[in-house]
Every structure is written in structure tokens, then in C-alpha cells.
Amino acid sequence: MSVLLSVLVGVLAAYVLIYYSLFKGARCKSNVTLKGKTAIVTGSNTGIGKTTALDLAKRGARVILACRNKQKAEAAVYDIRKESGNPEVLYMHLDLASLTSVRGFAETFLKSEPRLDLLINNAVCVAFSLGLIASGRTEDGFGMVFGVNHLGHFLLTLLLLDRLKQTEHSRVVNVSALLHRLGSVDFNLLNTLKDLVTGQSYWHAFRAYCHSKLCNVLFTRELANRLEGTSVTCYCLHPGVIATEIGRNMGVLQKLFSVPMSKLFFLDPEGGAQTTLYCALQEGLEPLSGRYFSSCALQNVSAHGRDDALAKKLWEVSERLCGL
């Protein structure tokens, strides 16, 4: 019995060591306060977006939750106000799958808010999860993953860019992913199918996600080039593998396997928000504008992600697709 107990204790100790050294991730240690500053966080009604918004609210920021689902967003506003003690948290409707909605959000924000210090493009369309596929098209006919993860955020950022420039030392933070390394951009497909993949299978959905995350990296790189000489800087990041609502659309058998594994080995929303917060708050990052971070540290990107010509072409094509 004592031998078995020793083994169990050893296994538990090994797990704790591995979890906190490899999976728990680094922490943002910035003590910056944000009183008088304004932040937008897209997709902030749940998961790492909500955790990010909560942290910014605790620091005194005026935080705009830019979300599609009104009911969930209003519930998140209530939670964040209560926990942070900050009444300057509010919801504005934003559906990134609709360019009309993006324009409407930007118009509403610019009319009602005199400054913008932080734009955190956090919302993400994953479109695949253990065999489940959420396929479809945006309101404007683009592939859902490409439209939400890249094009909607691209247009949102450009529409708010002048307000960002008017605010000293403002930042844009784009949440990408490690899987950008598997991505590529086929402009022929964009021109003909308004998407970066040709089908709706699980494999196509996975590829679409990888491609869209590369677009985030390329967008950040070109944005930094175009912002040179201004007080606005931008960063992209891999948040880690996050356990957020992983079992929401799964069957019972899938949950029995996946949910315990996610709780054991994946980051919780607080852990997953740390690199976003680091890019938004850490002092002295300005010389690294356009770069990619993970675990609160500078990281390298794929060869495609370093291609300035590809980044510039994606920008130009995205402008055309958005009707700019």
C-alpha cells in the first residue's frame, strides 16, 4: 500500500511539475494602470477575451466588449463590472462575419468614444473540434474562418486607425496561433472562391484555420510597416492551447475523454490571456512592433510569416475584398 501511495504521489508531483513548467505558461507581470484609457476587446463575452477584458477593467480602463451575442455579452459586462468594481465596462454589438456590422460598430464607436488606446483583436472562428465542423459563409460570401479571423478584424482595425493615431502610444494586438506555421495564402482561391480552401471537410476546416492565423501574422507585419513613424504599434501572438468551452458541442462519449484531458493539460482562460496582456501592457515593446510572441516572450514565425511581399499583397487584396 505504501509503495502504491508513493507511486501515486510521484506521478502527481511529476504532473504538477510538467503542468506548471510546460502547460501553465508564463505570466504577464506588468503593473501598469489604465485609468483614463479605452480598450476594445473583440469576442470578449467568454474565454480568454473575457479574462483579458476583466484584467484591463481591474487596471481602471474603459473597456468595450465587442461581441456578436448580446445576451452573453451583457452577462459578461455584469460579471466584469462586479468583479473589477469598474463601471466603465460596456457592450457594443459587433458581428465580424458581416462587413456591414463591422462598419456599423466603427461608426458607433467613433461617434461615442473620444479615444482608443488598445484594440485587441481576440475573437476567433475555429470551425472544427474533434470531428465537428462549423462550416459556412459570412454575410458577404467569404469563407467563415477567413472572413471572421482575418477580414473582419482587418477592416475593423483600418476603420479605427485614425482614432488610434490620435491617442499617444496606442497598440493593436492580434491573437494568432502557433498553427500559422502550417498556413499559406492562395490568392487565386481568394479571387475565385472568396476563401483560402476549396471544401468543407474537417481537413479543409483545419487548413482554413491555419491559413487564417497566418493572415493574422502577415497583417500585423504589414501594419507595423505602415505605422512606422507614428505612435501606434502592433503585435501578434500565440495564446497557448486553451480549455475554453471545449465540451459545449460534444456528445457524451467525446466529453468523457476530451474534457478531463483539457482540464489536465490545457491552459485555463487566465493562463491563455497572459501573452495578450503582455503585448498590450508591457513597457518597452515599441521597437518590436510587428513581431510575434508566445509565453510572454518574442518568438520566430514561419518563413511565410516573414515574407514582406506576401504581407503587402495580402493587405492590398484584403482592401479590395473589403471595398476600401
The residue with greater pLDDT, 299 or 244, is: 299
pLDDT digits (tens, 9 = 90+) for 220-271: 999 999 999 999 999 999 998 655 544 444 455 544 544 454 454 556 767 8
Taking the model in full, what pTM does it have?
0.87
pLDDT digits (tens, 9 = 90+) for 95-118: 999 999 999 999 999 999 999 999
Q: Looking at 91, 209, 235, 278, which residue is catalytic? A: 209
Res 15 pLDDT > 50: no
Going by C-alpha positions, the residue among 232, 242, 239, 213 that lies closest to residue 293 is 239
In the chain, what are the domains? 35-321 (3.40.50.720)
Buried b (16+ CB within 10 A) or exposed e, 256-283: eebeeebeeebbbbbbbbbbbbbbbbbe
pLDDT of residue 17: 43
Cα gap 101→237, rounded to integer Å? 26
Q: Which pLDDT band holds residue 135 (cuts at 50, 70, 90)?
A: low
Count the neighbouring beta carbons within 10 Å of the beta carbon of residue 119: 28
Res 11 pLDDT > 60: no
With a pLDDT cut of 90, the percent of the chain lying above it is: 75
Q: Specify which residues 62 forms β-bridges with.
A: 38
Does the annotation count 209 as an active-site position?
yes
Going by C-alpha positions, the residue among 175, 193, 185 that lies closest to residue 235 is 175
Cα gap 3→11, rounded to integer Å? 12
